[in-house]
Amino acid sequence: MADAKPKWLERNVSGVLLDISGVLYNSGKEGGEVIPGSVEALERLKAAGFKVRLCTNETQCTREDLVKKLGRFGYKLSVSEMFAPAPAMRAVLQKRDLRPHFLIHAGGRPDFEGLNCDNPNCVVIGDAAESFTYESMNTAFRVLLENHTLFSMGYGKYYRTDGQLVLDVGPFAKALEYACDTKAEIVGKPSALFFTTALEDMGVAVQDAIMIGDDIQNDVGGAQAAGIRGVQVRTGKFRPEDEKHPTVKPDGFVDNLAQAVGLIVKYGK
Amino acid sequence: MADAKPKWLERNVSGVLLDISGVLYNSGKEGGEVIPGSVEALERLKAAGFKVRLCTNETQCTREDLVKKLGRFGYKLSVSEMFAPAPAMRAVLQKRDLRPHFLIHAGGRPDFEGLNCDNPNCVVIGDAAESFTYESMNTAFRVLLENHTLFSMGYGKYYRTDGQLVLDVGPFAKALEYACDTKAEIVGKPSALFFTTALEDMGVAVQDAIMIGDDIQNDVGGAQAAGIRGVQVRTGKFRPEDEKHPTVKPDGFVDNLAQAVGLIVKYGK
């Protein structure tokens, strides 16, 4: 483990934003598996007085379900620490009085209960996984062609589940954008608003925060665009090619969350 | 029927390129249905001495199957008059010694028989329709992420089948492009090479040719980019919005092929 003070800790830290999938655990069919050392690392980070929020694009389940799932690995988290796209998305739909057609995973539907979906005038897309079928894409496309209002909960390219890479919501959002000559409004990472809302919640300024994630574009690049340092872990969907990414240069790389926390606790204050 | 000489016939015509689906017939489950007047129009065009080639992005069946299918509506066509992506695609794969992974419709597979597909190092995508599943998209994505060579047989956004609009190959090609940070090489419309190959086959110069199709971007816009006049029919996937398209301005609009041929025969020579 690198022990010297890394460049990304030359400025102090008071708050840390963490991605979940690929940082705390790897998703998979039986609930996935914990990433070794991450449970202890998260406890150590909090115990050392750093403020922490979880920043995820998870839309296959509610935040309540996610807290329970992570609890089985030993994570002690509360819903109020979790920032996920669905609550923000629901607020946008209500504020703009829109009637959504959902192309999302069934596990994420409870977050949208009670909304009026008759005669839809916009499309909301999330990581629908197996529910991305030719039929479901066509149905969303036909709604969108008439209304042109598309929301994408996240814009990620792919992630790791059950040990292999699979497509995230981003490519399917791109498909609909192209088909209907429109541009999705992104709710979730890499939207700057999503990161800064989490920072405001813990009362931390952008220059005092670090985002740690496995997605070079949505976690690292997104945070950097919002003025936050972005550090990539070599777990989850990390690929060696990321270290020579053509456009995103992370402030730092670490092997895993445990290494990041070791450095933050030692040099961050 | 408009009877005055239209602007798009101020220059003479010697060759006509025709799209098939949406111009000659509308596709659908029971083989689809003929567009009224198109069988007679095509015969009239040929009888008047105009050279004709069919330019299609059809990849759900072979050209032989398509000739048979159209024959049932009364069209007298031969395979040699048909320009479709598959033969050109096959030639590219062989010339560049590539081992393809196919994400295409089962009906189009016979055109690629005998090619070496072991340990694939490129992806070929076509209008796979119901075969666009989360699983098939993931398989193609994983091949592409390692190799970055993607061929798309066409780049259309949508088309009409069984009376409703459905997604074409383009959106799914876009999805894979985004996921893997790559750009598809297009074989078929709107590639200029595809149009000019058909013109060379009939010995007609670009300035003496007209393309007639229902797709404002791939037929009309594609032809225009190759220097060929592009006329849109108000059949097939045509939508009234096309007449105020933000980027493509067709040389002309006609209600259907019959009207186009009436004008060409009267004013084109």
pLDDT digits (tens, 9 = 90+) for B127-178: 999 999 999 999 999 999 999 999 999 999 999 999 899 999 999 999 999 9
CATH topology of domain B88-186: Rossmann fold (3.40.50)
A139 touches chain B (CB under 8 A): no
- Asked if the domains at B12-57+189-268 and B88-186 fall in one CATH topology, the answer is yes
Chain A closest-CA separation from residue B242 CA (Å): 12
- Mutation target to probe the B interface, by most B beta carbons within 10 A, among A123, A133, A138 is A138
Q: Would you give the distance in Å from CA B88 to the centre of its chain? A: 13
A12-57+189-268 under CATH 3.40.50.1000, yes or no: yes
Evaluate if residue A1 carries a pLDDT over 70.
Answer: no
Q: Name the A residues in 69-98 with CB < 8 Å from any B CB.
A: none
- Mutation target to probe the A interface, by most A beta carbons within 10 A, among B132, B160, B248 is B132
* Pick from A131, A135, A178: CB nearest B171: A178
Q: How confident is the model at residue B2 (pLDDT cuts 50, 70, 90)?
A: low
* Pick from B130, B174, B180: CB nearest A178: B174
A167 and B175 within 8 Å at the Cβ level: the answer is yes
Q: Determine how many CB atoms are found less than 10 A away from the CB of residue B60.
A: 20
- The residue of chain A with its CA nearest to that of B167 is A138
pLDDT, mean of residues B225-245: 96
Q: What's the angle, vertex CA B127, arms to CA B32 and CA B91, rounded to 5? A: 115
| Domain definitions of chain B by residue range | 12-57+189-268, 88-186
pLDDT in tens, A122-156: 999 999 999 999 999 999 999 999 999 999 999 99
Per-chain mean pLDDT for chain B: 96
pTM of the model: 0.93
Per-chain mean pLDDT for chain A: 96
pLDDT in tens, A64-112: 999 999 999 999 999 999 999 999 999 999 999 999 999 999 999 999 9
Evaluate if residue A206 carries a pLDDT over 90.
Answer: yes
pLDDT in tens, A213-248: 999 999 999 999 999 999 999 999 999 999 999 999
A157 and B175 within 8 Å at the Cβ level: the answer is no
A165 touches chain B (CB under 8 A): yes
Evaluate if residue A257 carries a pLDDT over 70.
Answer: yes
pLDDT in tens, B10-44: 999 999 999 999 999 998 888 899 999 999 999 99
A138 touches chain B (CB under 8 A): yes
Higher pLDDT, A4 or B101: B101
B258 touches chain A (CB under 8 A): no
